[in-house]
Amino acid sequence: MCAYVLVAEDDEKQAELLRRYLEWEGHAVGLVHDGRSVLDSVRRRAPDLLVLDVMMPKVSGLDVCRILRAESDLPMLMLTARATEDDLLLGLDLGADDYMTKPYSPRELMARIRTLLRRTRRAATPVEPLLRVGDLAVDPVRHEVSVAGESVECTPGEFQLLELLMSQPGRVFTRAQILEHLHGFDRHITSRTVDVHVMNLRRKIEPDPRRPVRLLTVYGVGYKLADGPHG
């Protein structure tokens, strides 16, 4: 599974360490050390995956994530020394697909990267039919979402969550099941991660996000996609 991975890390020694690990796994690697260079590099040659440090000079990693997510669905894994839950959730809210806190195990980081790349490749493989519930449609092949024929932009994480719920309308998925589907089980990820993705999806697919009729909360359990008409 060779890929082009762009590593955005202002610590040059750490960046070189990641380069060695990635190249050992057969990937092509680009290195940049500030936020402005990240934007320039991605726009010049889009990578298959961006590993992005939050604390970047010139343009912060969070701002880079926000800008790139508005432009594309590029898979992004964020690295952060900020260990508070709010900081981590902010990165996910801006569109990151996964994160790791420093210090981290390079072997675990490689496993996360493999997972993200597999998920991205799977989404690009034309084997799955269109999923449709009422006027909500998900195309796993084209990685597209629409409501009443109108296109809806989703981050890769939001898309994977919606695709999971759409695969079995009416079934209640627990937060733990959703987290395992999205990221693989990890003690650093909390159930609030799922809540952030749900909140963002409701803004995009619900007529009134405050009174959802599509993506429903089953209190004390998790979430489900309503299997009846939406109105």
Q: Give the start-to-end residue ranges of the domains of the chain.
A: 4-124, 131-225
Closest by CA position to 124, among listed 194, 185, 51, 48:
48
**pLDDT score, position 84:** 62
pLDDT digits (tens, 9 = 90+) for 52-81: 999 899 999 889 999 999 888 899 999 988
Whether the Cβ atoms of residue 147 and residue 135 lie closer than 8 Å to each other: yes
How far is residue 231's CA from residue 217's CA, in Å, rounded to a whole number?
A: 17
> Does the domain at residues 131-225 carry the CATH identifier 1.10.10.10?
yes
Same fold, 4-124 and 131-225: no
**pLDDT score, position 185:** 40
Closest by CA position to 42, among listed 20, 75, 79:
75
- Minimum mean pLDDT range among 49-63, 103-117, 124-138, 146-160: 124-138
* Fold category of 4-124 in CATH: Rossmann fold (3.40.50)
**pLDDT score, position 188:** 54
